[in-house]
């Protein structure tokens, strides 16, 4: 059907004395079309056809609820696609992504500086605070530079003993020790930058002893330049959007709070089935597959560390405190929750 502008042009040309044949030739339509629009003034008005419900229509309510539950954090389209597939969604990724774009503005991506390392050369480590307060929850994140394989562990503090234990667990998960590990200004790693000259830092003695025991060289990224350890920084953002926000929002809808045990139970499967099993956007390969090759370049796993850990000052026994309630839940409850559709990051 012609638009209103072309229909108006037909009538204007007719008022100027042009015939049907001439109008049809000039505008590029059939003579019958010109006659119909000249006979029926209402024909120029566009009559919209009733839209048939699309494949996404039945799931728009669920999507709105999930986006609202995760706010102010963002739910990625890849996460929702997995959840919708389990609910019978047969549509594609693009239409879902476009629908999400209409629900919230898309932020411009930050420029990324790429710096690649050889297999077995580097691991990047960082903390991310998930929740503060009495029920504090932090996450230890380690990413191998070449394979992009990642190890995640949720903890309740960021003390030196915890940091060293997380390192040992990461080395076991990766199957070896890299030649260097990159950090920012963790106070459990470095006490003073450039203390003995440019690039010669005063490391925490307990941490330095641990590094020597394991056989890796600690290295610091440039201050105020988090992008120098961009692999782990980007993975933390991915962890929040693809794992933490879906898990926390789903449990919040059930009136539950994610504790350390639940988070670690969930993240183990998420690493196996999602994070380390996806095709990485930069390498174009699966991190788990590249880890098999990188493992050959890693150093041997050291025996358990038992060296210079801080000695705690003996304290008088403190009176018993009442147990904290509200965060720990029966395991059966977690099993039922994790079995719910749309939670790919947890064990069945």
Q: 91 in a domain, yes or no?
A: yes
Question: For residue 333, how far is the Cα from the chain centroid?
Answer: 26
Does residue 30 or residue 237 have the better pLDDT? 237
Alpha helices, DSSP H only, in 58-186?
A: 60-70, 77-86, 93-103, 160-174
Q: List the domain range (segments joined by +) for residue 241.
A: 122-309+328-338
Does residue 174 or residue 327 have the better pLDDT? 174
Q: Are residues 61 and 40 in the same domain?
A: no
Is the four-CA dihedral 260, 262, 267, 272 of positive or negative sign? positive
Q: 271 in a domain, yes or no?
A: yes
How many folded domains does the chain comprise? 3
Question: For residue 165, how far is the Cα from the chain centroid?
Answer: 25
pLDDT per residue as tens digits for the range 271-297: 999 999 999 988 899 999 999 999 999
The CATH number of the domain holding residue 174 is: 3.30.420.10
Q: Are residues 302 and 182 in the same domain?
A: yes
Q: Are residues 130 and 94 in the same domain?
A: no
Specify whether the CB–CB gap between 120 and 297 falls below 8 A: yes
Specify whether the CB–CB gap between 168 and 304 falls below 8 A: yes
Q: Are residues 15 and 98 in the same domain?
A: no
Q: 305 in a domain, yes or no?
A: yes
Strands (DSSP E) found in 62-214: 122-131, 137-144, 150-155, 180-183, 190-192, 202-203
Nearest to 151 by CA among 284, 274, 305, 267: 267
Confidence tier at 146 by pLDDT (50, 70, 90) = very high
Does residue 115 or residue 277 have the better pLDDT? 277
Q: 115 in a domain, yes or no?
A: no
Rounded to whole angstroms, the Cα distance separating 2 from 17 reads 21
Q: Are residues 34 and 75 in the same domain?
A: no
Q: Are residues 67 and 40 in the same domain?
A: no
Name the residue with tokens 């930058």. 193
- Predicted local distance difference test score (pLDDT) of residue 211: 93
pLDDT per residue as tens digits for the range 177-195: 999 999 988 899 988 887 7
pLDDT per residue as tens digits for the range 67-113: 888 887 888 889 989 999 999 998 888 888 888 888 865 555 555 45
Q: Are residues 34 and 77 in the same domain?
A: no
Q: Are residues 240 and 266 in the same domain?
A: yes
């Amino acid at each position: 059907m012609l638009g209103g502008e072309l229909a108006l042009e037909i009538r204007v040309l007719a008022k100027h004395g042009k015939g049907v044949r001439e109008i049809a030739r000039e505008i590029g339509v059939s003579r019958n079309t010109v006659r119909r629009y000249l006979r029926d003034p209402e024909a120029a008005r566009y009559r919209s056809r009733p839209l048939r419900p699309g494949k996404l229509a039945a799931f728009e309510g669920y999507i709105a609820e999930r986006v609202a539950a995760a706010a102010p954090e963002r739910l990625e389209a890849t996460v929702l696609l997995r959840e919708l597939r389990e609910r019978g969604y047969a549509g594609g990724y693009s239409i879902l992504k476009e629908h999400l774009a209409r629900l919230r503005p898309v932020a411009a991506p930050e420029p990324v500086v790429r710096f690649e390392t050889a297999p077995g050369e580097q691991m990047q480590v960082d903390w991310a605070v998930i929740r503060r307060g009495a029920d504090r929850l932090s996450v230890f994140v380690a990413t191998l530079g070449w394979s992009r394989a990642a190890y995640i562990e949720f903890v309740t503090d960021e003390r030196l003993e915890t940091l060293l234990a997380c390192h040992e667990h990461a080395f076991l998960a990766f199957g070896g020790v890299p030649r260097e590990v990159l950090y920012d200004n963790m106070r459990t790693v470095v006490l003073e930058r450039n203390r003995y000259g440019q690039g010669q830092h005063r490391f925490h003695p307990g941490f330095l002893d641990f590094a020597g025991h394991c056989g890796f060289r600690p290295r610091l990224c440039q201050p105020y330049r988090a992008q120098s350890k961009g692999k782990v920084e980007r993975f933390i953002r991915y962890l929040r959007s693809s794992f933490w926000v879906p898990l926390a929002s789903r449990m919040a809808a059930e009136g539950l709070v994610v504790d350390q045990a639940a988070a670690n139970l969930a993240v183990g499967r998420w690493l196996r089935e999602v994070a380390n099993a996806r095709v990485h956007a930069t390498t174009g390969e699966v991190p788990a597959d590249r880890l098999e090759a990188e493992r050959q370049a890693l150093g041997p796993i050291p025996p358990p560390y038992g060296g210079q850990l801080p000695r705690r000052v003996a304290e008088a026994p403190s009176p018993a405190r009442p147990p904290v309630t509200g965060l720990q839940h029966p395991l059966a409850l977690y099993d039922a929750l994790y079995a719910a559709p749309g939670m790919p990051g947890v064990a069945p």
